[in-house]
Amino acid sequence: MPTALDELAQRIAALEAAIPELSRSSRLSYSSIDDGALTVTADGTVRAIIGQQPDGTTAVNVVNGPTPPAPSKPTASPALGGILTSWDGRFADSSPAPLDFARVEVHASATAGFTPGPATLVTTVESPQGGAVLVPTNVPAWVLLIARSTSGKASAPSTAAQAGPAKVVADAVLAGVVGELALADDAVTAAKVAAGAIDAAAIADAAVTATKLGQAAVQARALAPGAVTGPAIAADTITSREIAAEAITTAELAAGAVNTGKLAAGAVTTAQLAAGAVTTPKITAGAVTADQLAVDSVAAGKIAAEAVTGREIKALAITTDKLAVNSVTAAQLAAGAVTAAALSADAIDGRTIRGVTITGGTVTGGTIQTGQSGRRVLLSPVDPTDNSATPSTLLYSGAAAEKAPARLTGEVQVTPDGSAPTTRLTAPQITTDASHTPRLFLSSGGPATGYAAKGVFSLDVNGDGGLAGQATVRGIAGTSSDPAAVELSVRRATGGYKTAISRLEPEGWYVQTADQVANLYLTKDGLLIKALLGEVLLQTATGLRLQQGNVNVGSGLVVGDGTWKPLTFKQGCSQLGGWQTVTLKKKPDGMVALRGIVSVPSGVTSGVIATIDDPALRPKVGEVFPCATPSNVNVNVFVQPNGNIELWNGSGNVGGWLSFGSTSWSCID
């Protein structure tokens, strides 16, 4: 009985016998492509797709073929309506026609060296054997060819050829070929008709009617003499407009044909009258009235002496505009003839008054001055030096050094108390930049003081009305509650308009600095110096006496604090009851003393136990001090520039409390 191994050997032997037979027979004899395509490739590039295409159709589609060679140069010759272009079916460099040839494109342009594209494509030659096509054009053009393969590849352009369309000449047109129907509408215009080509014989009877004649088409020179007679002229056809100037002379007028009834009003003017034609006998009495006289027709030379008297002059007929300049002088005016009532409100407005006294009148508007130059006074509703809307009086001294006059001005001044009406007196300006020109301001106070009648005045040294950043001198008349005083102050613009004041009043004299640090009073007892930290009384009899606090009287000494200040405890530390309070104080020499005993919880062995709140009491650099404890352990206390008081214990618990003793440090170095 055969074993499994024997069966396997038989199967292998059968397969070896079948292999030669299979290699000799066709593998596609009975094959088909079901719902697919066979792709042909070359060098990894798809060249053709046989079978079902991507759009669902079934075909043999050649793709990615080689670039075809460029066609040979075409021939171009003139033709009616364009250029006849021919291709001989050859390719450049004697290349054979490609087997995937599709067509040859014909491109044309009027520009030499043009780049072919869709806009220049005119037609195609479909046969690889060549052919001739017509390129329509009415101007000379260049033509070239491009070959296309079935896969859409385009060759390089061929060499271009040039030609122009053939001209149409008479010899090329047979007699009778161009008839009436061959002409387009409006093809024959006046410019195409030779002179004299159309004569009377060519015009049919009654062909030219009135509607065919344009306005003014028939002119007088086209009419034979005597062609137009009376019967041919319609009634009212000829008016004065159709008669040329001087066309009708006296010879054409019958005797008596023109009378006054035929003359239009104004038809006869002086130009139509001969010299001397109108004499006095021809003018009836009263014929010439004032309305017949032209303006200014009667001049003074035509009026006899004394012909015009007061009787002939109409009341108010002669006004000021009828009088020549300076024609009426004081000699022509009777005494008292011109009174104040005779002057209108604006009669002297804006004018200079010389040697005239005005009584009982009011002069408004404009400026009034006592002279044009030199020493003079000028009154103006506005300040002419800066055009501000403030009434001003200008006082000119006439001095050569005077750049601007002294001014007395009514204005509104902006003060720290609010806007207030003020009278300003400005000294004459001597320098070009207006420096060193003091001003005096007289005011009754501002809104903040209820315009109290204090008689306040101020002297502006720098020309800014005593505002921020300037120095002023101010006088106060005083009241029963506010004493009179003279105050010299310098105000600065920062820090809320702080003022340094030197004040003199009946009760004393004091100086107040800009930062409100100290005041000096001259009293009956002596010179009193007040400071924020205290006060000192310098008396004439007893000398220097310190009333309270400490005062810095030199660069080497420091103002003392005067009080002991507490600390802020940390980590549960507190004041030890019944013992010296833990406090600090700055001494006049700049040293800070720390005293007292602090209670320390048993769990606290290191770290910050208190802080110094006042920065003026802190050391400039860190300090370290040994302190006493009940357990006698080695305890060090560090005092830091940031105000921290730190405990450093390296040998055990503090034992419940810690004494600062007489610990001290410098707060100035």
What is the secondary structure of 322-371 as a DSSP string? GSPTT-S-GGGSPTT-S-GGGS-TTTTTT----S----S----SS-EES-
Say if residue 556's pLDDT is above 60.
Answer: no
Say if residue 412's pLDDT is above 80.
Answer: yes
Strands 574-575 and 623-626: unpaired
Q: How much is the pLDDT for 406?
A: 92
- Dist CA 147 CA 181 (whole Å): 44
Q: How much is the pLDDT for 622?
A: 92
Instruction: Please give the average per-residue pLDDT across 55-74, as a whole number.
Output: 86
CA-based nearest residue to 377, from 393, 401, 390: 393
Which of 56-70, 163-177, 473-487 is most confident?
56-70
Which of 45-54, 122-131, 288-297, 368-377 is most confident?
122-131
Say if residue 533's pLDDT is above 50.
Answer: no
pTM comes to 0.29
If phi over 0 gives left and psi between -120 and 50 gives alpha, with beta otherwise, what is residue 322? alpha
pLDDT, mean over the chain: 75
Q: What is the pLDDT of residues 456-510, one digit of tens each?
A: 455 555 555 444 445 566 666 666 666 777 766 655 555 544 555 666 666 555 5
Count Cβ neighbours within 10 Å for each residue of 345-355 and write b for 16 or more, e otherwise: eeebeeeeeee
- Dist CA 452 CA 562 (whole Å): 43
Instruction: Please give the average per-residue pLDDT across 143-171, as a whole number.
Output: 88
Sheet holding 37-42, edge to edge: 37-42, 45-52, 58-62
Task: Provide, rounded to the nearest whole percent, the portion of the chain with pLDDT above 70.
Answer: 67
Q: How much is the pLDDT for 216?
A: 64
Does residue 222 contact residue 208 with C-beta atoms inside 8 Å?
no
Count Cβ neighbours within 10 Å for each residue of 181-193 and write b for 16 or more, e otherwise: eeeeeeeeeeeee
Instruction: Please give the average per-residue pLDDT across 518-525, as a whole number.
Output: 54
- Tell me phi and psi for residue 5, to 5 degrees: -70, -35
99-113, 483-497, 543-557, 638-652, range with the lowest pLDDT: 543-557
Say if residue 667's pLDDT is above 70.
Answer: yes
Instruction: Please give the average per-residue pLDDT across 515-541, as a whole number.
Output: 50
Instruction: Please give the average per-residue pLDDT across 254-268, as a whole number.
Output: 75
Local confidence band at 180 (pLDDT 50, 70, 90 cut-offs): low
Residue that has been written with the tokens 């492509």 in this structure = 33
- Dist CA 75 CA 85 (whole Å): 6
- Dist CA 412 CA 451 (whole Å): 13
- Dist CA 95 CA 316 (whole Å): 120
Say if residue 82's pLDDT is above 90.
Answer: yes
Say if residue 438's pLDDT is above 80.
Answer: no
Which of 307-316, 355-364, 532-541, 605-614 is most confident?
605-614
Number of other CB atoms surrounding residue 149 within 10 Å: 19
182-186, 395-399, 487-491, range with the lowest pLDDT: 487-491
Q: Provide the CA 217 distance to its chain's centre, in angstroms.
A: 63
264-273, 400-409, 458-467, range with the lowest pLDDT: 458-467
241-255, 564-578, 620-634, range with the lowest pLDDT: 241-255
Question: How far does the chain reach from its first CA to its final CA, in angstroms?
Answer: 123
Local confidence band at 76 (pLDDT 50, 70, 90 cut-offs): very high
Q: What is the pLDDT of residues 288-330, one digit of tens each?
A: 777 777 777 777 777 777 777 767 777 777 777 777 777 777 6
Helix (H) or strand (E) holding 101: strand 101-109
17-26, 271-280, 595-604, range with the lowest pLDDT: 17-26
